[in-house]
Amino acid sequence: MADPAQPVIQGSALQKTAAGSQFASSSSLLKVKTGVEGFDEIAHGGIPQGRSTLISGTSGSGKTIFSMQFLVAGIEIYAENGVFVTFEEIPDDIIKNMLGFGWDLSRYLKEGKFAFVDASPSEDESVEVGEFDLGAFLARLLHAVEKVGAKRMAIDSISALFPRYTDQAKIRRELYRIAAKLKKIGITTLITAEKIGEAEGRVGRFGVEEFVSDNVILLHNYLDEEHRDRRRSIEILKFRGTSHETQDTPLLVRSDGINVFPRPKPSYAGQKSSTVKITTGIGQLDQMLFGGYYEDSVTLISGPSGVGKTVLALQFMVEGARKGENGLFFAFEESQEQLYRNAESFGWQLRELVKEGKVKLICSVPEELKAEEHYKRIKDIVEAAHVKRFVIDSLSALERIYAPNKFREFVIGLNVYLKNKGVTSLITDTISTLLDVSEITESNLSTMADNVILIKYVEVEGKIKRALAVIKARASEHDKQLHELVIDNKGISLGKGFLGLENLMGGSAKRIEGFKNPE
């Protein structure tokens, strides 16, 4: 298995973890795993077994790759042979193209695991002289299935068949007959169909949905106007008699095939609430929080640049690792070496903790991956490395590049996921104002956080100091005083409250007249 700490780009788009191809979904209808990474999750196990499923999309939306990946995964993972029916490209070209994904079709052909039905146009001059049926085409399909003992078939693309004949209603009837025959022999078939444009309402041209109306998947390929970025996505329109996700889900075509990125699915159902508290890594902060963070809580650490948010997060992570709680630190603003150096200046051996596998450190430029990819990567590592403590530093870096709704979906989905896993999370958020704080977070995400900690600069008698306040601690008592935050060569420590001063939140402290220190 690939190192989960590595970017998912290096992973395989073929899911290799599954033991078998068949999967019983919530209903009695069996499903067949496509092996397309992420798709089987949104399909609740795969596509309906022994049925035809239509995949419709515009040119370049990934139909051919998806259907070939379904066959390749069948051979490689599930020991199910496949037949590819090609209407447009010739087999030699397909073999060459698919090598680009590392799929060696020639080998499968030699090994008798794979067969082509070459339905690409004949070079002969053809005249339609009367009524016909598609009996020869059906015979070829059945012959290929029999030859390799296929359990899977892909027909790509059925739309190319229609222009070859004048009577298109006849073609539809014939295709219906063929789909029925394929169903009878129990072969699971993907049929691709071409859509002209994204705006087109119909599933495909020529009314293709009429002959395989039971199961329909849509592939979208559109230009994201806001980000001037071409985006692909996949949507399951219907699976008759069985469940599936209904959301439009991002899809990427990469060097190893198609990856689908199921969106975060926030649900509070079944969520437990822990009563166990864990240390923040800072003794005085533990006291302010009456024992630390709840172990399944999300804490937002808000403050301007340079105020100590990263140090607070590192301290939390290092302290956890020392206690045997594995951590995952997602850094969007600093490189690995910068973080090591930063940690070493406080005497924390972060490099060693990373080497020992106690801390996973992922430094990434936010733009490197899409939100769904970041989400998936985090999930993969949390599962593989038994992560107990999680940090994102900082959220602002992500917010900068994602559309607001996507950003919220990402954050909320991630939080719900981490809570369900019982992971303690710290999320840092940079606010732009240096002294005056009018909003705790510019992302407006404080409502989803269990704890909100504000770190800010304050001016006290002409000096700039750092101050920390616990603004919110859900289901817990907490110290409401502003405390001085000191960063020295051991990390962060907190001083006493700024007694006798007021208007610290405004950034500029004033001495309270007549105040006497009780000590």
Residue type, 219: L
Among 30, 134, 414, 473, binds other proteins (CB under 8 A): 134
CB 306 within 8 A of CB 455: no
In the bound state with other proteins, the residue whose beta carbon lies nearer, of 14 and 148, is 148
| Contact (Cβ atoms closer than 8 angstroms) between residue 56 and residue 234 | no
The answer to whether residue 325 is catalytic is no
Question: Kindly report the CA angle at 166 between 163 and 168, in degrees rounded to 5?
Answer: 75
Decide if residue 130 touches other proteins (CB under 8 A): yes
Stretch that binds other proteins, among 127-135, 315-323, 367-375, 438-446 (CB under 8 A): 127-135
In angstroms, give the least distance from the CB of 216 to other proteins.
24
* Per-residue exposure over 87-109, b if at least 16 CB sit within 10 Å of its own CB, e if not: bebebeebbeebeebebebeebe
- Residue pair 24/31 in contact (Cβ under 8 Å)? The answer is yes
328 in Cβ contact with 360 (< 8 Å): yes
How many CB atoms within 10 Å of residue 340?
18
Query: Cβ of 73: how many Cβ atoms within 10 Å?
Result: 29
Is 139 an interacting residue with respect to other proteins (CB under 8 A)?
yes
Among 105, 119, 160, 312, binds other proteins (CB under 8 A): 119
Give the whole-angstrom CA distance, residue 53 versus residue 179.
10
- Sorted by sequence, the CB contacts under 8 Å of residue 487 that are 6+ apart come out as 308, 311, 466
Q: Could you confirm whether 333 is annotated as catalytic?
A: yes
Q: Does the protein bind other proteins through residue 120 (CB under 8 A)?
A: yes
Q: Which C-beta is closer to other proteins: that of 1 or that of 129?
A: 129
439 binds other proteins (CB under 8 A): no
The alpha carbon dihedral of 431, 433, 434, 440 has a sign of negative
Applying CB under 8 A, the site for other proteins has a residue count of 29
Q: Which residues of 448-470 are buried (b: 16+ CB within 10 A; e: fewer)?
A: bbbbbbbbbbbebeeeebbbbbb
Residue 153 vs 473, nearer CB to other proteins: 153
Q: Work out which of 23, 165, 176, 222 binds other proteins, going by CB under 8 A.
A: 165
Binding status of residue 168 toward other proteins by CB under 8 A:
no
23, 137, 222, 346: residue in contact with other proteins (rule CB under 8 A): 137
CB 304 within 8 A of CB 431: yes
312 touches other proteins by CB under 8 A? no
Of residues 88, 210, 459, 484, which has the active-site annotation?
88
Is there binding between residue 161 and other proteins (CB under 8 A)? yes
Question: Is 128 one of the binding residues for other proteins (CB under 8 A)?
Answer: yes
Q: CB under 8 A: which stretch of 111-119, 375-383, 405-413, 504-512 binds other proteins? A: 111-119
Q: Is 197 exposed, middle or buried, given 0-12, 13-18 or 19+ CB atoms closer than 10 A?
A: exposed
- CB closer to other proteins, 164 vs 240: 164
Segment interacting with other proteins (CB under 8 A) among 18-26, 132-140, 209-217, 338-346: 132-140
Which span sits near other proteins by CB under 8 A: 39-47, 113-121, 359-367, 504-512?
113-121
Site membership for other proteins, residue 127 (CB under 8 A): yes
State how far the Cα of 156 lies from the Cα of 56, in Å rounded to an integer: 10
Q: Is 181 in the site for other proteins (CB under 8 A)?
A: no
The 3-class secondary structure across 56-109, one letter per residue, is EECCCCCHHHHHHHHHHHHHHCCCCEEEEEECCCCHHHHHHHHHCCCCCHHHHH
The site map against other proteins for 65-104 (x = CB under 8 A) is: ----------------------------------------
Active-site choice (37, 333, 373, 399): 333
CB of 91 to other proteins, least distance (A): 11
From 126, 267, 305, 345, residue interacting with other proteins (rule: CB under 8 A): 126
Q: Are strands 188-194 and 215-224 parallel, antiparallel or unpaired?
A: unpaired
**Quick one: which segment of 3-11, 139-147, 231-239, 425-433 binds other proteins (CB under 8 A)?**
139-147
Query: Residue 83 and residue 329: Cα distance in Å, rounded?
Result: 45
Residues classed as catalytic: 88, 333
Contact residues toward other proteins (CB under 8 A) are 117-137, 139-140, 142-144, 161, 164-165
